[in-house]
Amino acid sequence: MSTISLGGYQVDRLKSEAFCQPSIWIVATCLYDFGCLTEKQCWIMISGQILGVGEIRLGGIGMKSYKLRVVETAEYLKSHINKSPEIGILTGTGLGNSLGSIDIDISFNYKNIPNFPVSTVQAHLGKLLFGGLNGKPVIAMQGRFHLYEGYSPADVTFPIRIMQKLGVKILILTNAAGGLNPDFKVGDIMIIKDHINLTGSNPLIGPNEDIWGIRFPDMSKAYDEKLVLLAENTGAKAGIRMQKGVYAGLKGPSLETPAEVRFLKTIGAEAVGFSTVQEVISAVHGGMRVLCLSTITNINDPDKPAPATIEEIISVAEKAAPELETIINDVVGGIKARKGDNLL
């Protein structure tokens, strides 16, 4: 018996013939491509054909359909806030403290938010904040979800869909990354100008949610040029060492071998990490403008391989948090000032 992953669920592909009863056909053809028959059983239909019916295993984040969970969670959060956020901020490993300037109205532990995944890794604080930053209403996450934690692309991007539902138009992401460009130094902040998705996954696989975005979203300008410019100007003004480059997103969690580092450099990657690409794909699909800042926590040189430990990575990221805070604050201030520029 084989297992497939659909909409965040692990589902057994079993008994497909046995369950193709006319009654189920009728239900299935009238409804969605994937749904629950009972609390424990779901059906899967692709191109009008029932692919199978099987047991739901809770590798994902719940039993209800993904879309319903997004609506439910967004409604829950909406009932606790009085201003819709316009800007979303998502911080990566060791970077949660870069949100210190937010004037917090309300905060939630991830574990207390219905349907929300929880952070399972160090240096991800697991808090969702709502408040004001430089005069703009923001939603901010201290900690993200990764494929290497066992989360599906749907789980990893669940917060992005929540932000979309709450009205977020601009997404600012941060992460910790290994530097590949020989000009980079530990502690540099790299503005991502493009990415290479090497995770082997994509959050848009499966039936397209037309109300969220189009089937084949354009990725030729995934990282917004105006936001990149704002971040560059901020860095220059504040005297922060900034770089611009291409980020390669891997699944992890094992770090790169020297041969993999050589390969990544050959294909044009300038930094590497285990996050971000799924979130950016969902955000672009959802019509958001994206800015992403990587903290270069270590340098990967295939000719001089040196071990990178999570403790060192976290320590460098934590030291960079105040610089990121400066950039994020200034960019948000710049977005506000440049309203005529259609940034919002």
Binding site for ligand HPA (CB under 6 A): 176-178, 255-256, 272-274, 297-298, 300, 308, 313
Please name every residue paired with 52 in a beta bridge, in sequence order, or none if there are none: 44
Pairing of strands 103-109, 127-133: antiparallel
Tokens at residue 58, please?
Answer: 């809770």
* Closer Cβ to ligand HPA, 123 or 272, answer by number: 272
Residue 277 identity = V
φ/ψ (deg, to 5) at 163: -60, -45
Smallest separation (angstroms) from ligand HPA to the CB of 154: 22
Smallest separation (angstroms) from ligand HPA to the CB of 255: 5
Smallest separation (angstroms) from ligand HPA to the CB of 238: 23
Indicate the DSSP class of residue 97: G
Residue found by looking up tokens 């929540």 in the block: 162
* Closer Cβ to ligand HPA, 86 or 323, answer by number: 323
Smallest separation (angstroms) from ligand HPA to the CB of 250: 6
Vertex 266 angle, CA 262 and 267, to 5°: 125
* Closer Cβ to ligand HPA, 73 or 201, answer by number: 201
* Closer Cβ to ligand HPA, 65 or 295, answer by number: 295
* Closer Cβ to ligand HPA, 109 or 309, answer by number: 309
Tokens at residue 321, please?
Answer: 């948090």
CB of 98 closer than 8 Å to CB of 321: yes
Q: Give dist(CA 194, CA 176) in Å, integer.
A: 16
Give the three-state DSSP class for 96.
helix
* Closer Cβ to ligand HPA, 73 or 199, answer by number: 199
In angstroms, the Cα distances linking 240 to 19, 190, 322 are 61, 11, 11
φ/ψ (deg, to 5) at 181: -70, 125
* Closer Cβ to ligand HPA, 52 or 179, answer by number: 179
The CB density around residue 214, as the number of other CB atoms within 10 Å, is 11
* Closer Cβ to ligand HPA, 14 or 308, answer by number: 308
- CB closest to ligand HPA, residue no: 178
Smallest separation (angstroms) from ligand HPA to the CB of 256: 6
Smallest separation (angstroms) from ligand HPA to the CB of 162: 25
Smallest separation (angstroms) from ligand HPA to the CB of 243: 15
Smallest separation (angstroms) from ligand HPA to the CB of 171: 20
Tokens at residue 310, please?
Answer: 């999570």
Identify the CA nearest to 231 among candidates 283, 173, 291: 291
Tokens at residue 311, please?
Answer: 């403790």
Tokens at residue 191, please?
Answer: 């503005």
